[in-house]
Structure 1
Amino acid sequence: MACPPCPPSPLARVRLDDVAPHDGAAAPGYARAVGALAASLARRGAAVLELPADDAAVIRCALESARAFFRGRHAAYLYRAGRTLEDGELSPACMADAFRCLGKAARAALCAIARHLRLRTDVFNQLLDDTPLPVNEVSSSELLVAYSHEQPQSGHSLMGCPSRSSMPQVDRGFVTLVASDCPGIEVCDPNGHWYLADGVSGPNNLLLLTGRALSHVTAGLCPISHYRVTNENRASLTFRLVPHANAILDCSPILAAGHCIRQVYQPIPASQFMDDSYAEEHAVSSHLEEPFESQGNFVSDPSLRSVLSDPLS
């Protein structure tokens, strides 16, 4: 008699303090935490980072701010550090603090992934914005804060078009962190099974997803996360760690570490890579309007654009 299939491995829950070095020293459980994080990304396509209490308080403030700022409307706001507010433009509270908090967590996760691949933990730092960000410079990475309060019927939006949020998606950057006040994100594992990845949501839990840029610079050793949003009745924060425009994405560190590289992974300017990835995604869903411009800010309820806006669009 055939043996029953083995249950899927659980989604790893890793404390941020265990993968973020303090004063140059690693935590006692660093190696174990790095291994658990990498194994979860490989086997489940995602992982969960648990924030310390102080950082969780910042994220809680930002989620509550989203609800208060949008006042029950379908809407979203795209925040970039360093961008000056235009005349009359308002921003939800706590965005700068939330950006710093999530940026720190995303960089710690990226360092942990590099360590697992036998690379220096700072090997990808040259591809990222400087920290602190120079004066008069706008960050490449972005924080999307969104709120919606009802789910479109039958997974469709206005005009009979499929809801963009319910379609399988990938991100173009290195890593993506999502915090929300309700579960609602499914991830596809390497076996093609969709599962609820953020079943335990809250300000202290960040869902970690990996994007195209990370897959490219690791020569495919770090897989791309495929996900979809199944519940739009929530407030959420989505932070995307993106390479700066002048970076060159190449696999030389992977090659130096002894890994094999396929011919497809050639050096490419980050700006071109991001544009090519966008064009590929846009070709799949060209009937849906892109909800944000490159320097977009507030998207309000009355338009089709707001209905399609989602923290993972």
Structure 2
Amino acid sequence: MATCPLTRIRLSDIAQYDGAPSGSYVRAVEALSGSLMRHNAVIIELGNEDTALMRCGLEAARLYFRSRAQQSAGKGSRGVYMYRAGRAFEDWDSSPPCMADVFRCMGKAARSALCAIARHLRLRSDVFNHLLDDTPLPANEVSSSILVATYSHSSFQNGKGAIGGGKPAMNGEIEKGLLTLLSSDTPGLQVSVTPMATGTWQMVGQHPGDLLLLTGKALSHATAGLRPSALYRASPEYSLGVNGGGRSSLAFRLMPQGNAILDCSPIAAAGHVIPQSYVPVSVSQFMDDLSAEEDILGSQSDNTYVAQNNLNKEATLRSVLSDSLSGSFLEDAMVVSCGHSFGGLMLRRVIETARCTLCSAEVETGSLIPNLALRAAAAAVKHEDDRRLFHNAALRKRRKEVGDQTDSIRRPSKENGDADDGFNRGVQYPFSVNEKVVIKGNRRTPEKFVGKEAVITSQCLNGWYLLKIIGTGENVRLQYRSLSKLLNSAAIEDRCPALPIHNNSS
């Protein structure tokens, strides 16, 4: 299998600093974005100290899981450990060494790459900062991002070798967050050359200590599809590692905060085309929708899944009338000597290289002809988009004004204990600790818990609760949508002592 020609970028070249941008920074940003546009992936080269830290983390993860496997022989050859900064460790918790240092190192690289992506899209480098955790974290706050250490001595076939600890797709793995950084002590990681396509895998030439940067679903939505999500997997040929010694991997998933809003307005303000489907959505709702989609896709056959992807990849009117590099409409479209038409940054590239990017034919730069029909069509669609964006902005402003007025009216009643019924809501917590509820269930609720009464013992992230089943004493973690209040919930005060609130991260 051919090796994917991913660009290698030094982290020091894209690190943020005060002052005017240097030539090395500009070149690194262009190279990083070019590799992401072609493959949705790029290799980040760390400095000597950070490289040594990554190698130490990989070796620590390998020894940690091997020691656990020896203590519990016969319980499987795969291990997963998830580290989240700010999480309070219990007495029985154990983790591979130096996970906190690896978390900081990979987090620094992910944030630098995110800033470089924003700069290439003609945005402020901090445009996505409102989606991220504060640095450093405030006291008693748990990070949204997560570091996943994995070790496997078994095959990665049939999608069972999830590298990042997430839920694998049909023929690979796709992340929900903004960016994912992967490091492995053995070769064999593959990326899909065409976004979300199967059967076009290419090997990544990655050395131990390097970081493979991949784009996720949340970043794809925040950039209106300009940075599509990547599809990746571990090659079955390399699933056992070198000489059958297994594979240890570290995956850092840069995740947005659950109460943040994914909004494409900065992308529109920069002049990019915003398809109508990219509407503002809360991160918690976005993640819930992705989970529901995964459940649906998981019940379909591979053939149906591939057919749907092929259908979704058909060219749209806006994609035909837009520059593939900048996203701007082709109001300056020119016909080159081979018959193809270009505009914007792609036209500049064709002129500089004197070669068509579609058919690779040599182009006579002195014989360019304006494509008046394409220009007129692009101008007409741009005019309609501008009208729609203006209308949507005015509509959002009116809705915000109505919401503010409603909040001012509801605030006194909420102080008296009345519940909010949905205006401007993000993550919902309709139940309180020590409250008695009945489990009504949903698609992901185990059947044995449906209809049981339980007591809420603690509140978790993103609308999830930890409950104790009345009668059996079992603990279960469920989301608020699968729970229902009881009319006699006040009686629980006499039956259950008060329990402290724990903001669990799991």
Question: Which has the higher Rg, Structure 1 or Structure 2?
Answer: 2
1:109 equivalenced with 2:122 (yes/no)? no
Partner in structure 2 of residue 176 of structure 1:
180
1:198-217 equivalence runs, <5 A = 199-203=205-209, 205-217=210-222
Partner of 2:48: 53
**Could you tell me which residue of structure 2 aligns to residue 264 of structure 1?**
277
Q: Which residue of 1 aligns with 2:264?
A: 251
What is residue 144 of structure 1 aligned with on the other side?
A: 148
Describe the superposition over 1:247-305 as per-residue Cα deviations: whole angstroms up to 9, x where unpaired. 10000110111111111000000111111112212322269xx9xx989xxxxxxxxxx
- Answer yes or no: is 1:30 the counterpart of 2:25: yes
Partner AA of 2:224 in structure 1: A
* 1:40 to 2:40 alignment: no
Residue of structure 1 aligned with 2:229, choices 224, 228, 253: 224
Q: Which runs of 5+ in 2 are unaligned?
A: 70-76, 161-166, 240-245, 301-443, 445-459, 463-506
2:214 alignment partner, SS class = strand
Q: Distance in 2 between matches of 1:125 and 1:279?
A: 27
Post-superposition shift, 1:184?
Answer: 2.3
Instruction: Tell me if the contact between 1:9 and 1:43 (Cα under 8 Å) persists in the aligned partners.
Output: no
Aligned partner of 2:125 in structure 1 is 121
- Report the equivalent of 2:201: 194
Q: What letter is aligned with 2:232?
A: Y
- Structure 1 residues 60 and 23, CA, compared in 2 at 3 Å: closer, same or farther? farther
Aligned residues: 277
Q: Residue 106 of structure 2 aligns to which amino acid in structure 1?
A: L
The answer on whether the counterparts of 2:40 and 2:227 sit within 8 Å (CA) in structure 1 is no
Question: Whose relative contact order is higher, 1 or 2, with alpha carbons under 8 Å and at least 6 apart?
Answer: 1
Q: Which amino acid aligns with 1:280?
A: E
The Cα of 1:169 is off from its aligned counterpart by 2.3
Q: CA deviation at 1:48?
A: 0.4
Q: Percent identity over the alignment?
A: 54
**1:121–1:164 distance in 2 versus 1, CA, 3 Å:** closer
Instruction: Provide the TM-score with structure 2 as the length reference.
Output: 0.52
Instruction: State the distance in 2 between where 1:164 and 1:267 align.
Output: 26
Match of 2:10 in 1: 15
Aligned-pair CA distance for 1:55: 1.1
Aligned residues: CA RMSD: 2.5
What residue number does 2:292 align with? 279
Contact 1:215 1:223 in 2 (8 A): yes
TM, length-normalised to structure 1: 0.82
Moved more, 38-47 or 94-103: 38-47
The one-letter code sitting in structure 2 at the alignment partner of 1:206 is L
Q: After superposition, give the CA deviation of every residue in 1:29-77 in whole Å (9 maximum; x if it has no partner).
A: 0111111111111112211000111111211111111011111642010
Q: Return the offset for 1:229.
A: 2.0
Which amino acid counterpart does residue 187 of structure 1 have in structure 2? V
Aligned partner of residue 29 in structure 1, secondary structure = helix
The answer to whether structure 1 residue 74 and structure 2 residue 78 are counterparts is yes
Tell me the distance in 2 between the aligned counterparts of 1:156 and 1:234. 16
* 1: CA distance, partners of 2:266 / 2:228: 17
**Partner of 1:96: helix, strand, or coil?**
helix
Question: Relative to structure 1, is the Cα distance of residues 155 and 265 closer, same or farther in structure 2, using a 3 angstrom cutoff?
Answer: closer
- Relative to structure 1, the CA distance from residue 180 to residue 267 in structure 2 (aligned partners, 3 Å threshold; closer, same or farther) is same
Please state how far the C-alpha of 1:190 moved relative to its aligned partner.
2.3
Amino acid at match of 1:201: H
CA distance in 2, matches of 1:79, 1:190: 31
Please tell me whether the aligned partners of residues 169 and 228 of structure 1 are also in contact (alpha carbons under 8 angstroms). yes
CA distance in 2, matches of 1:200, 1:47: 10
Moved more, 188-197 or 32-41: 188-197
Give yes or no for contact 2:4–2:203 (8 Å, CA) kept in 1: no
